[in-house]
């Protein structure tokens, strides 16, 4: 699903906890609006299910020394190239 916009990015430094693999140290969580992420109209006998933009989140590890782009367009491109698994967020989860 293509990313429309980035809502938030949080990073958690876990280098002091993860001693087994020194290359991974930062758990990064991104919340974004993705195209076709939620059902907007249920399927009926006359029409198929329709999808629209929805709020989603994903988490991934950053390698030691790896830096996220600060520009939103570059960050969207960076995340799109990673082929991440996005999880839809309901308003009650947010």
Tell me if residue 6 falls in helix, strand or coil.
Answer: strand
Number of domains forming the structure of the chain: 1
d(CA 75, CA 68): 7
Question: For the CA atoms of 66, 70, 74, 79, what is the dihedral angle to 10 degrees?
Answer: 50
d(CA 15, CA 61): 11
What φ, ψ does residue 92 adopt, rounded to 5°? -70, -20
**What length is written for the chain?**
94
What's the predicted TM-score (pTM) here? 0.78
Output the average pLDDT for the chain.
86
State the residue range of the domain holding 18.
3-40+49-93
pLDDT single digits (tens) 46-82: 999 998 999 999 999 888 788 899 999 999 999 999 9
């Amino acid at each position: 699903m293509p990313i429309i916009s980035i809502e938030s990015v949080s990073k958690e430094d876990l280098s002091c906890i993860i001693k087994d693999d020194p290359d991974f140290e930062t758990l990064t969580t991104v919340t974004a609006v993705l195209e076709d992420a939620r059902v907007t109209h249920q399927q009926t006998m006359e029409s198929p299910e329709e999808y629209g933009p929805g709020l989603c989140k994903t988490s991934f590890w950053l390698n030691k020394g790896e830096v996220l782009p600060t520009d939103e367009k570059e960050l969207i491109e960076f995340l799109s190239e990673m082929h991440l698994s996005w999880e839809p967020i309901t308003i009650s989860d947010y």
